[in-house]
Each structure stands twice: as C-alpha cells, then as structure tokens.
Structure 1
C-alpha cells in the first residue's frame, strides 16, 4: 500500500511543477497600440501599467531602451532600480 502511495506521489510531482505559473518578468517593454509597435515605456517587476501590451526584456535591453529615450514608467520607476539618472 505504501509503495502505491509513493508511486502516485512521484507521478504527480512533474504535473505539479508544470502547473506552477512562470515568474513575472523582471523588466518589460510596453508597446504602443498602433501598428508601428513603438516602444512606450520600460517597466519593472509586476507593474500593472501597460501589462497587456508589453514583452519581456533583459536588464541590458532596459538600460538601452532608457538610454535611447524610451520613457521610464511613472509607477514602478525602473530607472531607480537600474540606478540611472
């Protein structure tokens, strides 16, 4: 009986791990609504502003976007996290 319980627990472990949601992006780039897909703002963490129209980016991409003139979100302030003035 114990062997069956252990076997059942082991078979469920991969399903449980797969069911966990992925981690939120550390950095994201908000995209404009229009067809041009212009970059609107850089966000940090789970910022809700513009979440629907954003894509994950790396820390380096966030730095480059801000340096290129992309706005920093007024709510989550990624420029503070990146220590960019």
Structure 2
C-alpha cells in the first residue's frame, strides 16, 4: 500500500489513482494508525522522519519544517539508537 498510496517522499496520496478499493478504505487508514503501536526493535525498518513511531504524527510533520535536508529524510530510527537506547 505504501508504494501505491504514498509519494516517493512518504507523504500519503489522497487521490484514488484508479483504485475503487482505496476510496473505500482510505478513511480507515488514519484510524488504524492511531490505534496501532510500534515495536522499535533495532529500528532498521522504521523511517525516522516519516513514520509515526514516537507520536501520532511523523517527526517531519510534528516539527513542521521543510528545512530538513533531503539526504537526512532517508534516515532510520536505528541511526539514533546507541547502546540499545
């Protein structure tokens, strides 16, 4: 779903892109995300800026900053973990 319904920068696409299913389930995505919890583990699969791993909003939206360099937007949570913390 991420590939089809997110931009290459990880932002959600709200148009249906020719999918009759997306229009029907789009409303539920936010609800499911709000009621889900993250298991961080080693953090290698969690996008530091675009996944909402530490708050209801992703960090990129939480700080509302377009000044984050693009090369940093590829960082994973694992880049912030040191000695298991």
TM-score (norm 2): 0.23
TM-score computed with the length of structure 1 as normaliser: 0.23
Please identify the structure whose Cα radius of gyration is greater.
1
